Structure 1
Amino acid sequence: MSSNTSALSKAKGFRKSKSGTYLSIGTTAFGALSVVKQAKKARSEHDTLKLIDAVVSAAAIVTGLAILYRELKRLGDDDVLLG
């Protein structure tokens, strides 16, 4: 049971590390490709509702990337304080 707890602690620590933040940025950016495809398809089908959905999804991705960027900068600032 303790090995599961330590693995969970390591996973949570990775998520808050620079590497984990870069990985999150990459996966979020990869999700943007799907939204671009969705928007292109919606435009070609003249489907306004799907296009609005794509725009809202894109806004969520941009917001998520901005939050991750801020976290990355904060982690960088912490590194300076440690060194």
Structure 2
Amino acid sequence: MKHVAILAAAIFAVSALPAIGQTASGTKSQPPSDEIVHMRQEIAAARKTYDTKVGEAKKVYDEAKAAAAKERDAAISAARANAHQKKS
């Protein structure tokens, strides 16, 4: 009988914990202020600007890389053509 009473008390104590935690955390939370919202909007705008600039830079890089590859390929073709002409 003593074990049943201890078990019942333990179950009651554990079931009361979430209710205590909910009321304590509910009183501490506050809605976001306008300053926080404004700060997050500025951060989002800064990230968007950064992403745009990086995208533009990547495009320029890809174009320059393609032009360099074209020059390399032309030089390789010319070198191979000269090598074949010397053998003949």
| TM-score of the pair, normalised by structure 1 | 0.42
Query: Whose radius of gyration is greater, 1 or 2?
Result: 2
